[in-house]
């Protein structure tokens, strides 16, 4: 069984992961609106990945005989000043999510809930990847600056991302 405290925290984390999906879907739609289909694709794949994260937590709660309580998902921002501004927000958001995952890991360690600790290892590794991949695009966008040729090339690169 899960403790009530961990159950509540994972329920909140499920909402946070679904909110991430919503944020990235909103970013995808923003990129579509400025004709950057490759960026939009990258964000659409990312949104799907976030639903996968929510479902991993969901499965853990169910397998531990806990109770899932779904709650309202808040509306994300719908517009950004530039592609760089959107990816800076994505990077900042992933840093925040890393903090949330670390908090749950600390809680699981304090409660000696080894099963939750074990499950969280996947997320700890995943957050390293998430911060790295969003920051890498921030850095490329900074390098590109106002060079539209560079932006076009990066758009073509991001069009290649597929659902794993």
Return the structure tokens found at 77: 């921002």
Contact 43, 25 (CB under 8 A): yes
Of 3-11, 51-59, 70-78, 153-161, the segment contacting Fe ion by CB under 5 A is 51-59
Cα gap 67→110, rounded to integer Å? 21
Of 4-12, 15-23, 104-112, 155-163, the segment contacting Fe ion by CB under 5 A is 15-23
Contacts 24+ apart (CB under 8 A), 129-138: 130/94, 130/97, 130/98, 131/91, 131/94, 131/95, 131/98, 134/87, 134/90, 134/91, 134/94, 135/91, 137/42, 137/87, 137/90, 138/84, 138/87, 138/88, 138/91
- Identify which of residues 129 and 157 has a Cβ nearer to Fe ion in the complex: 129
Least Å from the CB of residue 134 to Fe ion: 9
Contact status: 44 vs Fe ion (CB under 5 A): no
Exactly one of 44, 53, 93, 140 binds Fe ion (CB under 5 A); that residue is 53
Least Å from the CB of residue 1 to Fe ion: 25
CB-nearest residue to Fe ion: 53
- Identify which of residues 38 and 46 has a Cβ nearer to Fe ion in the complex: 46
Contact status: 60 vs Fe ion (CB under 5 A): no
163 three-class SS: coil
Least Å from the CB of residue 94 to Fe ion: 8
- Identify which of residues 63 and 129 has a Cβ nearer to Fe ion in the complex: 129
Could you list the residues that contact Fe ion (CB under 5 A)? 17, 50, 53, 129
């Amino acid at each position: 069984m899960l403790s009530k405290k961990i159950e509540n925290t994972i329920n909140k984390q499920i909402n946070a992961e679904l909110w991430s999906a919503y944020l990235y879907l909103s970013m995808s739609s923003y990129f579509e609106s400025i004709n950057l289909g490759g960026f939009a694709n990258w964000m659409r794949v990312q949104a799907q990945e976030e639903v996968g994260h929510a479902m991993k937590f969901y499965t853990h709660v169910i397998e531990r005989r806990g109770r899932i309580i779904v709650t309202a998902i808040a509306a994300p921002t719908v517009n950004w000043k530039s592609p760089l501004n959107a990816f800076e927000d994505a990077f900042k958001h992933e840093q925040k999510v890393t903090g949330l995952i670390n908090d749950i890991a600390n809680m699981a360690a304090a409660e000696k809930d080894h099963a939750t600790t074990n499950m969280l290892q996947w997320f700890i590794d995943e957050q390293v990847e998430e911060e790295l991949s969003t920051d890498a695009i921030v850095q490329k966008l900074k390098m590109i600056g106002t060079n539209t040729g560079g932006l076009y090339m990066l758009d073509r690169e991001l069009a290649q991302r597929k659902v794993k």
